[in-house]
Amino acid sequence: MRENFALFYPASPFFKPYQYITHMFMHGGIPHLLFNMYALFLFGSVLERVWGGKKFFIYYMITGLGAAALYTLVNYFIFSNIDATISAFVNTPSAELFKQFADAYPNYFNQNVHNFIHEWSITPNDPGYAATALENMVRVYQSNINIPVLGASGAVFGLLLGYGMLFPNSVLQLIFPPIAIKAKWLVIIYGGLELVLGLSFPGSKIAHFAHLGGMLFGFILIKYWNKKGRMYF
């Protein structure tokens, strides 16, 4: 089911255009589902009462699609970089280039890779090492493009952003950590944290840039509504 309805990168053989919609209704487990549904109830119920069902639905879908769009765009740059590195390696294969690649994607290699690189550096003209290295680099690329994203988190972060913009001084009582904080500060902290984590851990299983995409498109949409004087239908 995940291969059909989770969102894959467009270059993946599992990608289908409808996945931009269906991935929002898939989750990676019960905790993931419960967290998103709790946030949807907490912030979504307030926004729906303010905007009405139609406008809330438009906002929810656009932030969900925006999350997927930004996630895809960021992956485009990541995968383009991998592809360019592989192309450069094909032109001039070397142990040094392969080491740079292995260091950039340590999660895909074990300690044996260092022994492999050392042995290759001793006999740099052995074509067998270059072929093995290329095979592993292609494996990393294919593994990355076949990692799907799923869940309502992008839209949920859009709801958090919307709540923070409409009720910036509303005080929220957090469970972890157990502190009270104004909505506007919670939005800023979450946004900043997602940006830092997204830049620091590009291979993370958490789609940080999808979360940021939901917040970004939510911000743009609310600003657009405000500008057009159509905050309420």
> What domains are there in the chain, each with its CATH number?
2-76+152-228 (1.20.1540), 89-145 (no CATH)
At 173, phi and psi to the nearest 5?
A: -100, 110
Q: What is the residue-level pLDDT of the chain in tens, covering all 233 positions?
A: 788 899 999 999 999 999 999 999 998 888 888 989 999 999 999 999 999 999 999 999 999 999 999 999 999 999 999 999 999 999 999 999 999 999 988 888 988 999 999 999 999 989 999 999 999 999 999 988 999 999 999 999 999 999 999 999 999 988 778 899 999 999 999 999 999 999 887 767 788 999 999 999 999 999 999 987 654 44
pLDDT at position 233, please? 43
The reported pLDDT for the residue numbered 232 is: 47
pLDDT at 201: 78
H helix runs in the chain, sequence order: 2-5, 19-22, 30-39, 45-51, 53-91, 95-104, 112-122, 127-145, 153-166, 183-200, 208-228
Helix, strand, or coil here: 17?
A: coil
In this prediction, residue 104 carries a pLDDT of: 87
Q: Which pLDDT value is given to residue 215?
A: 97
Asked whether 60 and 214 are in contact (CB, 8 A), the reply is no
Q: What pLDDT score does 205 carry?
A: 73
DSSP code for 110: -
Q: Are strands 171-173 and 180-182 parallel, antiparallel or unpaired?
A: antiparallel
Q: How far is CA 215 from each of CA 3, 108, 111, rounded to the nearest angstrom?
A: 27, 31, 39
